[in-house]
Structure 1
Amino acid sequence: MATRISDQPMPRHNCPPPELAVIVPTYQESDMVDEVVRRVEAVLQGIDWELIFVDDDSPDGTSDRVRAIARQDSRVRLVQRIGRRGLSSACIEGMMSTAAPFMAVMDGDLQHDETLLPKMLEVIQAENLDIVVGSRYVSGGGMGDWNARRQSMSRFATRIGQYLIHADLQDPMSGFFLVRASVVQGCVRRLSGVGFKILLDIFAEAEHPLRFRELPFTFRAREAGSSKLDNAVLWEYLLMLTQKLIGPVIPVRFIAFSAIGGFGVFVHMAVLWPMLTLLGTDAFLISQATATLVAMTSNFFLNNILTYRDMRLRGRQLIRGWLSFVAACSVGALANVGIADYLFQGGHSGWFLSALAGILVGAVWNYAVTAVYTWKRPRAT
């Protein structure tokens, strides 16, 4: 009987496999790459490690800088993502690209204290834990130079997150942690990959309650780049929480798309009412058409900024995107009215359910068509 290739023993090499993989998601942080490598190498003496930079195709040459270092040090690796953006999804891809049994996640802007990494590895092994979290909110930890607004946003998001995961984790918003690979591998297909808070996602989707410990660290001042904590990040965080509460059946983008569509109703009325006041009801048709166009335009730009933040259209793409969005939503409006009228006139349901059915059909149509023709493929930004 012929021996299958898969049955043959793999050749062994002298290079020891990594015990710890450090995942560093990056975007426009080329100036920090050398220092991150230097610091990680300095603190992980005596540990077999690899450092994986996951770069979202930074235009500043971050990937090229990592490649240059990797040619000199095989422990440094690069995952360059083309046309995809997002910290959580970058962390997931990095964690899935290693064979190390332990994985740490830390930022590439040096705000996380890399000197804590050996202690994290020691604790997770000695105490047989699933995950060790670098925490700003336990005794000895701190927020560094964060202003009052950023601190209040973080604490608000932290309180919400604690309710979701049902664990006494003081800093579920931390982006600095060390986890067993088996934990992530067991839940990776349920992770949303939305936004910036991968730690919360792991706790929410783990197969069993996680054994964890928090170690204090103080957030450092940023040495380069700009803060990622803004209103759009908070929006993505709330979307992720919403999806966790309602389940994975409804796509998170559809939730965002629908929420913005609801806001578009207010925009529509805010334009329609003053126009009718000024021009009179005889000008209802032109007022309604103007309000509809303004609401569609508002919805397009909000979706471009928020719902499709990782696929954002820019420059001349905005014009093409706006035209396709308006065209798709115009057909959706006709479908909305047609379905509602059919159900109501045919006596299939009352006015409220008929209108609701029309709205739902229109929303699904608008979302499905614009996802294909407006934001038809991921783009690097």
Structure 2
Amino acid sequence: MSDLLDLAIVIPTFNEKGNVPVLIARLDQALAGVNWEAIFVDDDSPDGTADAARDIARLDRRVRVIQRIGRRGLATACIEGMCATAAPLVAVIDGDLQHDETVLPAMLAALKDDPALDIAVGSRFVAGGGTGEWDRDRVAKSAFATRLSQRVLDVGLSDPMSGFFMVRTAVLREMAPRLAGIGFKILLDIMASAGRPLRFVELPYVFRTRSAGESKLDHVVAMEYLIALYDRRFGRVIPVRFAMFSAIGVIGVGIHMGVLTALYVVLGASFLLGQIVATAAAMTFNFFLNNALTYRDRRLRGWRQMLDGWVSFCVVCSVGAVANVGVAAFLYDFRYGAWAISALAGVLVGAVWNYALSSRFTWGRY
């Protein structure tokens, strides 16, 4: 076997401690005769995933660890790992053992045998592939997401949602500055960010059932997928973070108007009191939803961070809140009771302040 490094396998992880030694053993068996390295990119897992990988790395120099502090997200983890190797080819495989590592030699052979190919993709939806033991609901959701991505981005893949692929490192490095790094579907990002249509081959594999650890799939992941599609289609016109913040702000307007209506119209409270309470309610709602969605990659966790973040959010938005209440009260007096128009004008004045200041002082400090 040549001393030259042939292949790097990037493994993004979060709370996968029990799967680390099993995956290394499987890679060792599947890639016999290949000079490879495994790069675990761990988002500071509380279960000690990074330490488990380091324990193996002390004995096996093919194993490396990148432990990210204060940064989260599968896509960005993959980008960091892929840019950290000197190997000419780099693969991405999940750390949960659900991808079939025995397909890696076929991916490697395909790229070595055909210099015109840019990427080899493990596909569940070509002949010989499959989704394993997925239930009907998950199959339907995956099929819908696949059709949506094919229609929006037109990348030509039968399985654009795949997280299992191998790409030429030079191709990846060239496009790295253009990658959005949003969500869990790094393959979509790569295919949509290339300056030219990438030449690809799809190889079948059957998706396995997770045997250890917890699934990372949730409703926020689904939301991130839609955000990623938006970013690739419209992100250059309106940045995705601002679009998310604005969309949540629109929902906050509904919260604001609902609270104000309840206090002012139903309960007969003064307009000024109703406006103040409604502003505080909308601000609190916006903080928690922005923390879960808009700033998921910087998400505040634990009651201390959450409390500090909420207080910070309220403080940095206080200028906008004062302007909100002041403008609304002025217009209410000026318009002789046009409370709805006055309230909406106040909300709009505070919105720009809220975004600019919270981006810097609430989620920009961690």
TM-score by length of 1: 0.86
CA distance in 1, matches of 2:195, 2:355: 32
CA distance in 2, matches of 1:341, 1:130: 61
CA distance in 1, matches of 2:326, 2:276: 18
Alpha carbons of 1:261 and 1:287: their partners in 2 closer, same or farther (altered >3 Å)?
A: same
Higher mean C-alpha deviation, range 223-232 or range 111-120: 223-232
1:338: how far off?
A: 7.8
Cα contact 1:175–1:197 (8 A) shared by 2: yes
Report what 1:223 is aligned to. Answer: 211
CA distance in 2, matches of 1:244, 1:86: 17
Instruction: Please state whether the residue corresponding to 1:307 is helix, strand or coil.
Output: coil
1:286-305 to 2 correspondences below 5 Å: 286-305=273-292
Report what 2:80 is aligned to. Answer: 93
CA distance in 2, matches of 1:22, 1:363: 44
1:24: how far off?
A: 0.3
1:339: how far off?
A: 8.8
Report what 1:206 is aligned to. Answer: 194
> Which amino acid in the other structure matches residue 89 of structure 1?
T
CA distance in 2, matches of 1:311, 1:151: 31
Does residue 1:368 correspond to 2:356, yes or no? yes
Unaligned runs of 5+ in 2: 331-342
Report what 2:118 is aligned to. Answer: 130
Identity fraction in percent: 57
CA distance in 2, matches of 1:48, 1:361: 60
Cα contact 2:2–2:35 (8 A) shared by 1: no
1:138-157 to 2 correspondences below 5 Å: 138-157=126-145
Report the count of equivalent residues.
353
CA distance in 1, matches of 2:232, 2:352: 21
Higher mean C-alpha deviation, range 200-209 or range 284-293: 284-293
| Aligned-CA RMSD value | 2.5
Unaligned runs of 5+ in 1: 1-13, 343-354
Does residue 1:102 correspond to 2:89, yes or no? yes
Cα contact 2:18–2:213 (8 A) shared by 1: no
Question: What do the CA deviations read for 1:33-75 (whole angstroms, capped 9, x no partner)?
Answer: 1001000010101111111111111111111111111111111
1:1-381 to 2 correspondences below 5 Å: 16-127=3-114, 128-248=116-236, 250-280=238-268, 282-313=269-300, 314-335=302-323, 362-378=350-366
1:152: how far off?
A: 2.6
1:250: how far off?
A: 4.2
1:340: how far off?
A: 10
CA distance in 1, matches of 2:349, 2:264: 29
Cα contact 1:328–1:370 (8 A) shared by 2: yes
Cα contact 1:26–1:55 (8 A) shared by 2: yes
CA distance in 2, matches of 1:219, 1:332: 50
> Which amino acid in the other structure matches residue 58 of structure 1?
S
Question: What do the CA deviations read for 1:216-239 (whole angstroms, capped 9, x no partner)?
Answer: 111100011222221101111111
CA distance in 2, matches of 1:59, 1:37: 21
